[in-house]
């Protein structure tokens, strides 16, 4: 049986959680999406949610810079 890395399950995050994780403002998130510098949100009904794995990968990429 292959060993699986300890990874968090994929979740759909609301904007307040995204802001808490990245430490940047709401306006920065939306502007960075437009400019292609941050993962795009997913429309779920009328709401927008962000893929937790995409946000985590973005955070890791910023730490590598």
Number of domains in the chain: 1
Evaluate whether 13 touches 52 at the Cβ level (below 8 Å): yes
Task: Say if 34 falls within a structural domain.
Answer: yes
Per-residue pLDDT, averaged over 40-65, amounts to: 95
Who contacts 42 (Cβ-Cβ below 8 Å, separation ≥6)?
12, 48, 49, 50, 51
45 belongs to a structural domain: yes
Dmax over CA atoms of the chain, in Å, equals: 45
Range of the domain at 53: 12-64
Q: Is 47 contained in some domain?
A: yes
Q: Which residues pair with 12 in a beta bridge?
A: 51
pLDDT band at 64 (very low <50, low <70, confident <90, very high): confident
pLDDT above 90 covers a percentage of the chain that reads 82
Confidence of residue 63 (pLDDT cuts 50, 70, 90): confident
**pLDDT by residue (tens digit) across 24-43?**
999 999 999 999 999 999 99
Q: What is the pTM of this model?
A: 0.84
Residue 1 belongs to some domain of the structure: no
Nearest-angstrom CA–CA distance, 27 and 7: 29
Asked if residue 5 belongs to a domain, the reply is no
């Amino acid at each position: 049986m292959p060993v699986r890395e300890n990874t968090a399950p994929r979740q759909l995050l609301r904007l307040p959680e995204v802001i808490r994780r990245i430490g940047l403002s709401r306006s920065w998130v939306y502007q960075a999406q437009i400019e292609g510098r941050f993962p795009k949100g997913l429309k779920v009904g009328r709401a927008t949610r962000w893929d937790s794995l995409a946000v985590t990968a973005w955070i890791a990429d910023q730490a590598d810079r």
